[in-house]
Amino acid sequence: MSENRRVVVTGIGAVTPLGNNTKDTWEAMKNGKNGIAPITSFDTEGYKAKLAAEVKGFDPGEYLEVNDLFRTDRYAQLAVAAAQQAVEESGVEGTVEPERFAVMFGSGIGGITTFEKEYTKLKERGPRRVSPLFVPMMISNMAAGMIAIRHDCRGSAMPAVTACASGSNAIGEAMRLIRHGYADAVITGGAESAVCPSAIAGFVNMQALSTSEDPNAASLPFDKRRGGFVIGEGAVALVLEEYERAKARGAKIYGEVCGYGSTCDAYHITSPHPEARGGAKAMTEALAEAGYNENDTLYINAHGTGTPMNDAVETLAIKKALGEDAARAAYVSSTKSMTGHMLGAAGAVEAMACLFTLQEGVIPPTINLKEQDEECDLNCVANEAVSAKVTLAVSNSLGFGGHNACLAFRKV
């Protein structure tokens, strides 16, 4: 197989708490729009957490036939929609052999709303009432499978299931499929839809969620007042292609996926390693592969969940990877302040933010950052976007299980 082929992004699709397409999502992100609001998908009476970043006004019927709507979990519907947007924009369909067209799509949880619904039927109405489609609707590979079926992708069609690193791992592994000659184009990204009673209860009881009822005081990355993350939902898809073929067919190129690091803390199922060993190593690997040097103007889209430990440990990881001076010089922001934490889709929406930052020279802010924590003493872009000629953009994702992923992008 060929090695070290360049990999570029030629299409992006998005269904997020900030908009149901890429343009609306990015415009809202640049303008510091908050996608967090009171939960509407169920009655939160008795729940400590009452806010989420839900997708609003999404009609899956625009992307799926009526029969398919009843056979798919919401997370897969979001994935199919984002993928269709990305494929249509890229113009890749029909230009690549089906056997060289692959899918790598992440989800941290998969069809949890289906699981909840069907388990309720089982307990209340008995086993015969459980849907025969329960299992295929629930499993975390189904988004990848449905995307592959729709777009005739006969190469690898796999999920990345690494908790909150799923979207980034999916993109990184998709890049490697192309780089090392196993595919010419890959539909990749992440999807999640877990704003449901069981997930909210579980995250609250592990003290991971913010219990603020003020949308502007809930998702507070790097702020002294932070008290947990706000759950979000949505999907973002990217079309990755080998650079020479994309250039030859005149495709629009958003940027190059030029670095990827993937590590495990091998430490604890939910807590990051206190010395940030895995996160720092993932960043070091991605930056080295991307050819990072002292002349680069660096933007870091931080994992930045707004949990007390995560933000402090990620700050340490950035310092270890870059050195103190370079770490403080880099621009840093957490778009989770606007999108909430989209779990398995987080890495994908944050990759999108990196690509648009490179394209437009605009760095999206961390909104509602009013009291920056001394432990998080980075150059955080607070409250309003800033203009900068960024030459290298990286996105960090850190997941339960100790999974760490870092993606690096350059403008072509």
Give catalytic residue positions. Answer: 164, 303, 341
From 78, 344, 110, select the one nearest 235 (Cα to Cα).
Answer: 78
CA distance 300 to 354: 8
> What is 306-372 written as a DSSP string?
S-HHHHHHHHHHHHHHH-HHHHHHSEEE-THHHH-B-GGGHHHHHHHHHHHHHHH-EEPPBTT--SB
Beta-carbon contacts of residue 135 (< 8 Å; ≥ 6 apart)? none
CA angle 268, 271, 274 (to 5 degrees): 95
Q: For tokens 């060929």, what's the residue?
A: 2
From 337, 303, 315, select the one nearest 406 (Cα to Cα).
Answer: 303
**Rg of the chain over CA atoms, in angstroms?**
20
Contacts by 205-210 with C-beta closer than 8 Å and gap 24+? 206/270, 208/270, 208/307, 209/48, 209/49, 210/49, 210/51, 210/306
CA distance 261 to 322: 14
